[in-house]
Chain A
Amino acid sequence: KTQVEQSPQSLVVRQGENCVLQCNYSVTPDNHLRWFKQDTGKGLVSLTVLVDQKDKTSNGRYSATLDKDAKHSTLHITATLLDDTATYICVVGDRGSALGRLHFGAGTQLIVIP
C-alpha cells in the first residue's frame, strides 16, 4: 500500500504564477520529510528537509511546510520559471538512524509554460 500520496499528479502553470504541491503520508514513525526535484532524465536533487512537528523552511523561491499531526506537507513555488518544469518528489524518513527507511511518493509533474 502506498504510504506517501502526492497531489496533484500533474500541474500546468504559466511562468510567473505561484503553485502549491501537496504530500499526505501514513508513514509511522515520521522522523523527517524531504522534497526533491527531478528534471527529466536526471537524478533527484534535494530542495529542502523538514524535521519538526510543525516546521517551515524556505529556499529561495521554494518554501515548504510540515504538519506531523496531520501527516501533511506542502511545497510552494513562487513566481515559477520555465526551469521549474520537473517532477517534485516527497520522501518521508521513518527514523533518523541507519535503520531508517525512506518512503518515496510517485511525484507531481509540474509543467511551466510561457
Chain B
Amino acid sequence: DMKVTQMPRYLIKRMGENVLLECGQDMSHETMYWYRQDPGLGLQLIYISYDVDSNSEGDIPKGYRVSRKKREHFSLILDSAKTNQTSVYFCASSLSGQSNERLFFGHGTKLSVL
C-alpha cells in the first residue's frame, strides 16, 4: 500500500515527561528517518536508521534517541522532554538509503511540550 504511518498525530506532554513517537512502513524499506519541522526552517534530520539496530545520528540528535527492532518500525524517544522540543516530527523511509531515492513521508506528529 506504500504508506508511512505515524502515531500519535497530536501529543501534549509536560516538561520532564517521557515521549514515545512511533512510525511504521509497509514497503520493506531498509532506511528510515526522523526529522523535525519548525516554522521558518527546513526539515532537520534527527536520526537515520539503515536497518534493524543500525542507527546513526543526524544533524540534531541531542535530547533524542531511537529504537529499531523490526525493519518496519522505527521509534523516536524523548527522555525528559523539554519545551524547545515542541515541534512537528516527521518519519520517512526510503528503499536503501541512497540520497537520490524517493523519500516517503508520514503525516507527522505535532508535539507540544508545556
A59 within 8 A of B: no
Quote the shortest CB–CB distance from B21 to chain A (angstroms): 14
Number of residue pairs across A and B with beta carbons under 8 Å?
Answer: 65
Q: Are B107 and A43 in contact (CB under 8 A)?
A: yes
Asked if B103 is at the interface of the complex by the 8 Å CB criterion, the answer is yes
A95 touches B99 (CB 8 A): yes
Residue A51 contacts which of B100, B102, B107 (CB distance < 8 angstroms)?
B100
Are A102 and B105 touching (Cβ within 8 A)?
A: no
Is A93 a contact of B100 with CB atoms below 8 Å? yes
- Across the interface, A98 reaches (CB within 8 A) one of B4, B40, B90, B97, namely B97
Nearest CB of B to A87, in Å: 10
Q: Which residues of B contact A102 (CB under 8 A)?
A: 45, 99, 103
- B100 lies within 8 A of A32 (CB): yes
**Residue numbers in A under 8 Å from B43 (CB-CB):** 44, 89, 104
Given known contacts A42-B107, A43-B4, A44-B90, A89 and B42 CB-to-CB distance under 8 angstroms:
yes
CB distance from A99 to the nearest CB of B (A): 8
Question: Which residues of chain A are within 8 angstroms of B103 by Cβ–Cβ distance?
Answer: 44, 46, 102
Task: Using A45-B105, A98-B98, A98-B99 as known contacts, list a sample of 19 further A-B pairs with CB atoms less than 8 Å apart, ordered by residue number in A.
Answer: A4-B42, A31-B99, A32-B99, A43-B90, A43-B92, A44-B43, A46-B102, A51-B100, A89-B43, A96-B100, A97-B99, A98-B50, A99-B99, A100-B98, A100-B99, A100-B100, A101-B45, A106-B40, A106-B42
**B interface residues with partner A (beta carbon < 8 Å):** 4, 31, 40-45, 50, 59, 90, 92, 96-100, 102-103, 105-108
